[in-house]
Chains A and B, each alone.
Chain A
Amino acid sequence: MTQFAQVVISGILVGGIYALISMGLNLILGVVRIINFAHGEFLMIAMYISFLLYSTWGLDPYVSAPIVALALFVFGWLVHRVIIQPILDTSATVKIFATLGLSITLQNFALMMWNADYRTVQTAYQTTVIRMGEVAVSVPRLIAFLVAVLISLGLFLFLKYTLTGKAIRAVAMEKRAAALAGIPVKRIYLLAFGIGSGLVGLAGSLLMPIYYVFPTVGTLFVLTAFVVVVLGGMGSMFGAFLGGLLIGLVEALAGVWISPGLKEAVYFAIFILVLLFRPSGLFSLGKGSEEVGLK
């Protein structure tokens, strides 16, 4: 029983980070209608920035998190402006392979700059645990989870109540009507891409104290994020949040009950099943949202 509680808790805590990465991906998908295959490499870049700030100036990953998030916001903005914007009205092929090309480029850029070594930061709290009864909770994981929850809440409120947030939702629902209502659609796209990238920047900072960074680290997480986005429903922020926690849980349980080597296979199998039988996701916005990202 204790072991079960332990597994459930650590699964959900990791799920918080998955949620953050997936919400970034989902925001871009829902608004700009593009699946960013380079999203994982954005995470990798964020982790390297966090690592470099730590190794050169000794900045703690939590302290440098806002800097990393801002850097990724700018990076996402630039990527959208330079690569994505010119191809928005083209076929699915072009969009898939342009972002894939970006993914290959960034991955190998990292390989050239920092080679394939696994790098990590040393912090005082890295191995600290809090004991709650017989269950041990790792402090950096708990922090990552709490920050992820707070940021998600902030994002919900931002999208729901601010004028900019409403404009973003309007563009996600109906681009043309939004443009007719005087919303600067192009600028909203840039903003959404920037915010989506900023979220993944934050996720990278939170991940740094509990994981390593290496050039292909993004592949691992982006595939998880795809699973989460499809599970939670394309374009649904809340779905991405819940989906993230769910996948964290599934992964942890599969690791214990089936085999650590097959835990990814389990959630990919779930992914395929959801895609095939309920392509609009478990908590989707409604009919037709599986069409998102097609045009």
Chain B
Amino acid sequence: MKRAVTKSTLLWLLVLLIALLIPVVVENKFYMHTLILILFYAAVSGSWNILAGYAGQLSLGHAIFFGLGAYTSTLLFMNGGVSPWIGMCAALALCMLVGACIGYPCFRLKGPFFTLATLAFSEVIRLVASFWKELTNGAVGLNIPFQAGFSNLMFRGKEPYYYIALGVLCLVIAVTYWIDRSKMGAYLIAIRENEEAADALGIPITRYKLYAVLISSGLAGITGVFYAQYILFIEPEAMFNVNFSVQVALISIIGGMGTVAGPVLGAVLMIPLNELLRSAFSGLNGLNFFLYGIVLILVVSFIPNGILPTLRGWLSKKRANRHSQLTQAIPGTQKGGGQVDSAN
């Protein structure tokens, strides 16, 4: 068990090292953009994964926090000249507050009804954002004036954005990793698997769901700030988009919900595919999402746990087979092990 932990830590460090070195090698702007998108989507999806994958609350309103974060920092910057770095903290606080206000009443709803309620909240906020022209400039959107500089969180090249996205993703992964290893992770998974049983065991369900939504919405807010600073244009239609929420969910589902690395794997697989299809078939609008939809149906139908847990399942089965062969070959050895590291 101890060895397995260090092994996975080593693997993470290796991936991080490669990720840090990539911009040194890659010069092409399109590739850099795709890489930034991968990091960004992995981070957003990772934040969704905490609420949906661990606590089992399938929200389709994640765009609320993403959009709210983007609008908070942008409005503070454009109206008050507040640095987006400070805006990021404001976004974090506001998103957590709104997350709690939406999550708390909705937690009474189960399964698809929770999903529907989050969907409705997302639509209400989109409509209000389009309507409240004095604040958000309505459907026209907001163009953030470009003033390069570290304190403005705007840069000429793509490398700084890459490293910031990587930093945000690392934060999301670290938080998820901590949840996964802590008592909280066990509680959340218990709630996801069987709420009544978790309640009967004395787990304070609502409090832990609330913790999950606080963390999840706060992190999503930060990714929203990054997005606004990278694209420099925000509008209600794009920021509070249900399709965005679906896409974010899809990445985690494909990679593996309720795992630390699932959202990263999902983003690494799906985002390049998406960008590739979009550039290769630019004349055929919709092909990328058409295939997304088909992949989603196939994945949930055939490997409902996602790619990562399925792969782990195979590996541990293989290992267990080898182990049982070994124990048969050497008489007197104890049975056991094999399954342990597949636990997460």
Instruction: Let me know if B285 is at the binding interface, CB within 8 A.
Output: yes
CB-defined contacts of B123 to chain A, threshold 8 Å: 223, 264-265, 268
Flag B131-169 by CB within 8 Å of A: 1 or 0 each: 100000000000000000000000000000000000000
Instruction: Let me know if B274 is at the binding interface, CB within 8 A.
Output: no
Q: A112-B284, A112-B287 are in contact. Are A261 and B130 (CB under 8 A)?
A: yes
Instruction: Let me know if B14 is at the binding interface, CB within 8 A.
Output: no
Cα(A234)–Cα(B127), bound, Å? 26
Instruction: Let me know if A182 is at the binding interface, CB within 8 A.
Output: no
Shortest CB distance A234–B (Å): 9
Flag A97-133 by CB within 8 Å of B: 1 or 0 each: 1101111111111111001100000000000000000
Q: Which B-chain residue is minimally distant from A90 (CB atoms)?
A: B304
Please determine whether B110 and A94 come into contact, CB atoms closer than 8 angstroms.
no
Count chain B residues whose beta carbon lies closer than 8 angstroms to a beta carbon of A: 44
Instruction: Let me know if B293 is at the binding interface, CB within 8 A.
Output: yes
Shortest CB distance A118–B (Å): 15
Q: Which B-chain residue is minimally distant from A104 (CB atoms)?
A: B293
Cα(A53)–Cα(B221), bound, Å? 47
Please determine whether B58 and A226 come into contact, CB atoms closer than 8 angstroms.
no
Max chain A Cβ within 10 angstroms of own Cβ: one of B117, B130, B284: B117
Which of the residues B116, B124, B257, B292 comes within 8 Å of A104, measured between beta carbons? Answer: B292
Which of the residues A109, A219, A293 comes within 8 Å of B286, measured between beta carbons? Answer: A109
CB-defined contacts of B289 to chain A, threshold 8 Å: 104, 107-108, 111
Please determine whether A83 and B297 come into contact, CB atoms closer than 8 angstroms.
yes
CB-defined contacts of A83 to chain B, threshold 8 Å: 297, 301
Instruction: Let me know if B30 is at the binding interface, CB within 8 A.
Output: no
Stretch at the interface among B32-40, B101-109, B323-331, B333-341: B101-109
Instruction: Let me know if B111 is at the binding interface, CB within 8 A.
Output: yes
Q: Can you give 13 contacting A-B residue pairs, CB < 8 Å? A: A83-B297, A93-B58, A94-B300, A97-B249, A97-B296, A107-B289, A111-B286, A262-B131, A265-B131, A268-B127, A275-B106, A276-B109, A279-B113
Known: A97-B300, A262-B128. 9 other contacts (CB 8 A): A92-B111, A101-B295, A101-B296, A101-B297, A107-B289, A111-B286, A226-B116, A226-B120, A275-B116
List the 4 shortest-distance A-B pairs measured between CB atoms, nearest first.
Answer: A105-B293, A111-B286, A101-B296, A104-B293
